[in-house]
Chain A
């Protein structure tokens, strides 16, 4: 059974950092492209970042809204994908989902507020 479980959310101040983690199981993680998608309270879905697999040199891509502040990474030995979020803003407040496209995690809430 495919499973994705996000952790690491919380309440942080503007300008601070947070690292989300997504633990996966039930599929061959190492050759799977992984994404982070977020959803601000009461709003629609926003794609955040993609990390490709080793065959694509772990290429990473970002939404313009997070480029230069967020970094997606992966550890194939642990079947985990991460999202390092720096210089957080109020507008980054959202539920963050880890997804491979067909399967999604339950999401983790990040609140940025002073």
Chain B
């Protein structure tokens, strides 16, 4: 199975500053069809996960442009610029290139 290693486990960021989360996979997530099936989700307290980024770097509809995804192969990063109070929650990376699909263990973002 593909292991998704997310760092850091938790992150405390002042309002207006930038946050960065890393996700590394144990195998390349480049699919034979040419796509890289790596997504980023945010789960706010008491809510279902919500999609932020798909195919490693594409913002989902309605997602603020403060969120950006980058990376390829096995190394991926989610950046949140100008952190706002509504950004708090747990962030997960998720690979659906290889079955069984797997999530990272999550990064809890707290606001200082």
Residues of A within 8 A of B (CB): 35, 37, 44-47, 50, 61-64, 97, 99, 101-107
Contact = CB atoms under 8 A, between A and B. Distances in A.
A68 to B, nearest CB: 14
Given A44-B106, A45-B106, A101-B96, A106 B101 contact: no
A61 B106 contact: no
Contact of A45 (B1, B51, B54, B92): B92
A93 to B, nearest CB: 18
Contact of A44 (B54, B99, B100, B103): B103
27 contacts: A35-B101, A37-B49, A44-B92, A44-B103, A44-B104, A44-B105, A44-B106, A45-B41, A45-B43, A45-B92, A45-B94, A45-B106, A47-B100, A47-B103, A50-B101, A61-B100, A62-B100, A64-B1, A97-B48, A99-B49, A101-B39, A101-B51, A103-B51, A104-B48, A104-B49, A104-B50, A106-B48
B24 to A, nearest CB: 16
B9 to A, nearest CB: 11
Contacts of A97: 48-49
Interface in B18-66: 39, 41, 43, 48-51, 54, 60
What is the size category of the interface that chain B forms with chain A? 20 to 34
A99 B39 CA distance: 13
B72 interface: no
Given A44-B106, A45-B106, A64 B100 contact: yes
A61 B99 contact: yes
Contacts of A62: 100
6 closest A-B pairs by CB: A104-B48, A47-B101, A45-B103, A44-B106, A102-B51, A61-B99
Interface string B73-112: 0000000000000000010101010011111111000000
Q: Which of the listed residues A46, A61, A101, A105 has the most CB atoms from chain B within 10 Å of its own CB?
A: A101
